[in-house]
């Protein structure tokens, strides 16, 4: 049974959500303020989080930012504010989706179902159990060194044989994501979602094209790649 954490301080909406989600067969846990939301997420390990923005204590964006560093659970932000800025902030802090209040329960349930299904497919594709997390692309972090290839997330810089390379932003993000998940088989759809974002409308060919460009830059023989290998029928694996 999938467990959903509802983070919401408006009692009527909490009741409505709890009722609707339970009827669909989900197990529902509730947090009514920012700090208990963090605790509940860590202790309960929900399969999905519905997150209000305006909350006592930490706001929803802050919660999202913190949780995103710790777990790969789908996070749907619920907010009464519907300007574009909020949407962008929501996605920047790592939310997977965004619903503006008032939303229809049918719409909410459809999105919940879709995200849970997506996560299940990713897990199946990767052949991993529930507790494995695939981190989102973080903005900084420690240097990653693969002999002559060095990735420095703090400076957003990649060097090969001590020469700083010129990578396009997506090439860099793709390389970083692959490198951070070294030796893990990553499906095209997962890569697309993590590097290009859930709302990117292009197809997974985009991934192949960028992989080709990256190989031309970082492989000694792009026709016989050793660092980024193709996993037939699935996607790619970064070897180092
Ligand atoms: Ca609220």
Q: Please tell me the distance between residue 11's alpha carbon and the centre of ligand 1 in angstroms.
A: 9
Query: Cα of 91 to ligand 1 centre, how many Å?
Result: 19
Residue 199 burial (10 A CB sphere; 0-12, 13-18, 19+)? exposed
Cα(4) to centroid(ligand 1), Å: 18
pLDDT of residue 59: 86
pLDDT per residue over 64-92, tens digit each? 988 988 888 999 999 876 665 566 666 67
Tokens of 79: 């907010």
Q: Count the Cβ atoms, other than its own, within 10 Å of residue 233.
A: 6
CB of 91 within 8 A of CB of 98? yes
Report CA(135)–ligand 1 centroid distance (Å): 28
Q: Kindly state the average pLDDT of the residues 197-201.
A: 74
| 67-81, 147-161, 192-206, 224-238: segment of lowest average pLDDT | 192-206
Distance CA(173)–CA(135), nearest Å, equals 13
| Token digits of residue 145 | 């060194």
Whole-angstrom CA distances from 145 to 43, 52, 148, 178 are 34, 39, 7, 13
pLDDT of residue 183: 82
Q: How far is the CA of 52 from the centre of ligand 1 (A)?
A: 6
Q: What residue has token string 């800025």? A: 85
Residue 85 CA, ligand 1 centroid: distance in Å: 18
Task: Tell me yes or no: is domain 144-238 CATH 2.40.50.140.
Answer: no
- pLDDT single digits (tens) 143-153: 889 999 999 98
Q: What is d(CA 53, CA 66) in angstroms, rounded to the nearest whole number?
A: 14
Least confident of 45-49, 69-73, 134-138, 230-234: 134-138
Model confidence pLDDT, tens digit, residues 14-57:
999 999 999 999 999 999 999 899 999 999 999 999 999 889 88
**Å from CA of 39 to ligand 1 middle:** 18
- Residue 86, pLDDT score: 64
Q: How confident is the model at residue 192 (pLDDT cuts 50, 70, 90)?
A: confident
Q: With left for phi above 0 and alpha for psi between -120 and 50, is residue 57 left, alpha or beta?
A: left
pLDDT of residue 33: 93
Mean pLDDT, residues 168-192: 87
What is the spatial distance between Cα 158 and Cα 151, in angstroms, rounded to a whole number? Answer: 5
Predicted confidence at residue 84, as pLDDT, reads 58
Confidence of residue 194 (pLDDT cuts 50, 70, 90): confident
Region of 7 please: left (phi>0), alpha (psi -120 to 50) or beta: beta
Helical H segments across 80-225, by residue range: 84-92, 105-126, 169-180, 188-191, 205-218
Centroid of ligand 1 to alpha carbon of 56 (angstroms): 8
Count how many Cα atoms sit within 13 Å of the Cα of residue 225 in the half-sphere of its side chain: 19
Distance 138 CA to ligand 1 centre (A): 28
104 C-alpha to center of ligand 1: Å?
17
Residue 13 Cα to ligand 1 middle (Å): 9
CA torsion sign for 106, 109, 115, 118 is negative
Residue 233's pLDDT is 80
Residue 131 confidence (pLDDT) above 80 = no
Q: In Å, what is the CA distance from 63 to each residue of 14, 89, 113, 120, 204?
A: 18, 13, 22, 24, 31
pLDDT of residue 11: 94
Residue 139: what pLDDT?
45
* Candidates 3.40.50.2300, 3.80.30.20, 2.90.10.10, 3.90.1150.10; CATH matching 3-126: 3.40.50.2300
Q: Map out the domains of the chain as residue ranges.
A: 3-126, 144-238
pLDDT score at 81: 65
Dist CA 21 CA 158 (whole Å): 46
Q: Report which of residues 57 and 225 the model is more confident about.
A: 225
């Amino acid at each position: 049974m999938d467990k959903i954490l509802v983070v919401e301080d408006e009692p009527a909406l909490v009741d409505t959500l709890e009722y609707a989600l339970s009827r669909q067969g989900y197990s529902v846990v509730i947090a009514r303020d920012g700090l208990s939301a963090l605790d509940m997420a860590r202790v309960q390990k929900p399969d999905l989080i519905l997150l209000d923005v305006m909350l006592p204590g930490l706001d929803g964006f802050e919660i999202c930012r913190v949780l995103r560093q710790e777990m790969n659970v789908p996070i749907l932000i619920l907010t009464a504010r519907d300007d574009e800025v909020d949407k962008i902030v929501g996605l920047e802090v790592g939310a997977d989706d965004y619903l503006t209040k008032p939303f229809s329960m049918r719409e909410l349930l459809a999105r919940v179902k879709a995200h849970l299904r997506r996560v299940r497919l990713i897990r199946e594709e990767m052949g991993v159990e529930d507790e494995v997390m695939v981190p989102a692309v973080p903005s900084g972090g420690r240097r990653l060194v693969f002999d002559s290839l060095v990735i420095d997330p703090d400076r957003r810089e990649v060097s090969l044989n001590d020469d700083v390379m010129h990578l396009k932003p997506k090439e860099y993000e793709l390389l970083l994501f692959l490198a951070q998940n070294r030796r893990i088989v990553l499906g095209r759809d997962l890569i697309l979602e993590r590097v290009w974002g859930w709302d990117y409308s292009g197809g997974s060919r985009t991934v192949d094209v960028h992989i080709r460009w990256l190989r031309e830059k970082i492989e000694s023989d792009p026709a016989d790649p050793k660092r980024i290998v193709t996993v037939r029928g699935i996607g790619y694996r970064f070897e180092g």
